[in-house]
Structures are given as C-alpha cells and as structure tokens.
C-alpha cells in the first residue's frame, strides 16, 4: 500500500442514503476527510436520494464538498457504452457497494486509483493482503476501503451528531431534572413487520412512569397519528417532536438526535429512528425481528440487542415484555 498517495479529488459511490444508512456511514465520512484533508470530496448517490443532500446536510458540511443524488448511474448495462458523469475524472474513486454490474459501470469513470470490494476486490486497483476476511459490520467494511486506498490505519470515530440549534430546542423540550426514558416504536415505511407490538411499548412506558421516570415517545411522520391514543394510555408521557411541531417549528432528524442525548436510556425497533437515537449517545435496547442485526447495529454508546430468533421466531411479537424491561433497567442501573 502506498501511504504517499495524496489525491486532490475523491469520488465516493453509494446507491442511496436513508437516515439509518447515512448515520452509520458518518464515521466513514469523518475518516475520509481526516485522511485526505486537502481533497475535494464528491459523494455520488447513483440510484436514489441521499439525506446528505437534505436532512443531514449540516453533519457533512466541511466534510463533503459536493453531493450528487439520483444520478441514474449503476443499474443499466447500457451505461457500459458511455462515460458516466459526462466523462469527469478523479484521482481516487471508492465504490462502497458490491454489485458486479454497478462496479463495471463505475470503472468507466476515469480514476487514477479505483478501490472496490466487489468480487473479492477482483476489479480493484489495490487489494488487501492474503488472508483478509471481510468484517461483519457495514461500517468496518467501508472503513477498510479508506484504509486500503491510503495505506494507513483508519479507526472508527464517534462524533457529536447534532447542531447547536437542535441542542437548544431539545433542552427546552426535555429540561434537566427528570429521568427521561425514550421509546421509538416506529419502523421504515412499508416495514410494519419490524415493529414490536405498540401495546408492549405502552406497557413498558407505564412501568417506567410507575418508577418515577418520564416516558418519551419519539414519533416520526409515519407514527404521528398514534399521538392521541398514546397520550391517553400513558398520560405521564412526553411527545417532544409533536410539541415542537405544534409550536410551528420544523422537527428535523437532528432534533431527534439531540433529544436522545438528554435521555437516560431508550428502546427502539430496528429502524431509522433507532439509529437516530443511538447517534445521540443514549444507551439503547434494540429489538430485531426479520433483519440481520450483525450487519448494521445502531452505533449506541451502550447497546443491548434482543433478537426474536432467540425466541424461535423472526416475528417481533415473540420478544417478551419482561425481557425488554429487564434489559432497560440494567442499562438505567449502569448509567446511574
């Protein structure tokens, strides 16, 4: 590996970035900028949108110089007949995905150094040493690409994931004093099978209220209609995103991150909301059903994962309330 390589331009290719994807990639973004502080970094979402262009743009300001989304690059074999991005070239191109056709298309982009893990690094200009084993987690896999490109060791770095304005708003919504405990009962659009039954969240919240703590429900746009019923069932609960919206202000994802930083612990499904609260540094009980937890666990300060498969099923309702309650109490005791 050549540690003297100093690219002036870097292109990073991803398919798309939803909230959870992007938060998991933040250590990669930080590592890339720290490794190449003088380079112009372009982030290319070839097959869809990226929240780095929109909701999470403040997090990558100064770290990514250009964001291109929905570029229509990486899906059609006919792209092999032309130069993507109108023939633009780069000193370094990092391909973060592993679909063969997409990688072949990306090889059509002029690059002095091309790094890709597709087909066991067969199309990459640089390959890892013999005996390399691909890490389990997605974030370590893509950090290894930076390490391979630069010839230097790259560590995963934690960073503050919210801005000053979100921090101030969160302090007003969840003021100092009470012990706030978060509940994130939603899931990605169309993925209701990733939700633990809502009535079990209600039961957990009631138990927390009976122990003198304040339940905090984090309800995104898809779950906003639950607000009224949940407020009736758990009158001690707070709904900070709905309170913020009621004041006429926009509740973006960075506010959720900031709110999480003011909680003692939280419980979440496998969801973008779960990744948001984890990014706030809160100790988290993370509930998993049909998905593979090992690939993309939330980056929480302290994480307990509870898997439906440990109860003989991939259905979320296999996870018992008492097991989650015990895990939550253990996190709260550790924090205390």
Q: 279 by DSSP, 3-state: which?
A: helix
Percent with pLDDT over 90 in the chain: 72
pTM for this predicted structure: 0.77
How many CB atoms neighbour CB 235 within 10 A?
A: 9
Give 305-308 contacts, CB < 8 A, sequence gap 24+. none
Could you tell me if 227 and 245 are in contact, meaning their C-beta atoms sit under 8 angstroms apart?
Answer: no
Q: What mean pLDDT comes out for the span 66-86?
A: 95
pLDDT of residue 271 exceeding 70? yes
- Which of 162-179 are b and which e, b meaning 16 or more Cβ less than 10 Å from the residue's Cβ? bbeebbebbeebbeeeee
The arithmetic mean of pLDDT across residues 108-131, rounded, is 96
What kind and span of H or E run contains 27? helix 19-35
Distance CA 328, CA 267 (A): 7
> 168 pLDDT exceeds 70?
yes
What single-letter DSSP state applies at residue 248? T
Calculate the alpha carbon distances from 23 to 46, 103, 185, 272, 307 in Å.
Answer: 18, 24, 19, 9, 22
- Label the pairing between strands 265-269 and 180-184: parallel
| In contact, 138 and 98? CB cutoff 8 Å | no
Look at 36-45, 226-235, 245-254, 322-331 and tell me which has the smallest mean pLDDT.
245-254
Residue 32 CA to residue 189 CA, distance in Å, equals 31
Confidence category of residue 1, pLDDT binned at 50, 70, 90: low
Query: pLDDT value at position 300?
Result: 82
Nearest 10 degrees: CA dihedral of 28, 6, 41, 23?
Answer: 10
CB neighbourhood size of 254 (10 A): 24
Q: Per-residue confidence at 161, pLDDT binned at 50, 70, 90? A: low
Q: Of the given ranges (25-34, 90-99, 251-260), which has the lowest mean pLDDT?
A: 251-260
pLDDT tens-digit map of 198-217: 999 999 999 999 999 999 99
Average pLDDT over residues 148-159: 84
User: At residue 72, does pLDDT exceed 90?
Assistant: yes
> For all residues of the chain together, what is the average pLDDT?
91
- In degrees and rounded to multiples of 5, residue 96 shows phi and psi of -90, -5
Alpha helices in 36-187 (DSSP H): 57-60, 100-106, 118-121, 138-150, 164-173
Measured in whole angstroms, the distance separating CA 304 from the mean position of its chain's CA atoms is 17
What the chain holds in terms of domains, given with CATH numbers, is 9-150 (3.40.50.2000), 169-335 (3.40.50.2000)
* pLDDT for residue 2: 59
Q: What is the pLDDT of residue 158?
A: 65
**Confidence bin at 313 (pLDDT 50/70/90):** very high
Q: Looking at residues 49-73, what average pLDDT do you find?
A: 93
pLDDT at 73 over 90: yes
pLDDT confidence of residue 230: 97
For 19, residues 6+ apart whose C-beta sits below 8 A from its C-beta are 51, 55, 56, 253, 272, 273, 275, 276
Helix intervals (H) in 186-226: 198-210
CA distances from 332 to 236, 282, 302 (A): 19, 10, 11
- Average pLDDT, stretch 328-336? 90
Q: Supply the pLDDT for residue 293.
A: 66
């Amino acid at each position: 590996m050549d540690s003297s390589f100093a690219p002036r331009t870097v292109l990073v290719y991803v398919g798309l970035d939803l909230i959870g994807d992007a938060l998991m990639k933040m250590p990669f973004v930080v590592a890339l900028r720290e490794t190449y502080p003088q380079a112009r970094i372009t982030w290319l979402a070839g097959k869809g949108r990226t929240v780095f262009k929109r909701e999470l743009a403040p997090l990558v300001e100064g770290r990514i110089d250009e964001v291109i989304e929905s570029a229509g690059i990486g899906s059609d074999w006919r792209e092999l007949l032309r130069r993507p991005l109108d023939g633009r070239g780069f000193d370094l191109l990092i391909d973060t995905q592993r679909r063969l056709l997409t990688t072949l298309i990306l090889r059509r982009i002029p690059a002095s150094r091309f790094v890709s893990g597709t087909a066991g690094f067969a199309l990459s200009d640089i390959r890892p040493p013999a005996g390399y084993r691909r890490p389990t987690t997605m974030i370590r896999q893509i950090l290894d690409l930076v390490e391979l490109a630069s010839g230097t060791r790259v560590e995963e770095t934690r960073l503050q994931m919210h801005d000053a304005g979100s921090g101030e708003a969160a302090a007003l919504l969840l003021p100092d004093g009470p012990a706030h405990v978060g509940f994130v009962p939603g899931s990605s659009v169309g993925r209701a099978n990733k939700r633990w039954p809502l009535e079990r969240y209600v039961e957990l919240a009631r138990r927390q209220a009976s122990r003198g703590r304040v339940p905090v429900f984090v309800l995104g746009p898809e779950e906003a209609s639950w607000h009224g019923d949940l407020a009736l069932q758990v009158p001690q609960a707070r709904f900070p995103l709905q309170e913020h919206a009621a004041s006429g202000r926009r509740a973006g994802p960075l506010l959720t991150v900031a709110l999480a930083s003011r909680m003692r612990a939280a419980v979440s499904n496998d969801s973008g909301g779960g990744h948001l609260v984890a990014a706030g540094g809160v100790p988290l009980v993370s509930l998993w059903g049909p998905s593979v937890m090992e690939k993309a666990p939330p980056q929480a300060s302290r994480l307990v994962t509870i898997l439906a498969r440990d109860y003989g099923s991939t259905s979320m309702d296999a996870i018992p309330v008492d097991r989650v309650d015990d895990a939550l109490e253990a996190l709260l005791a550790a924090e205390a």
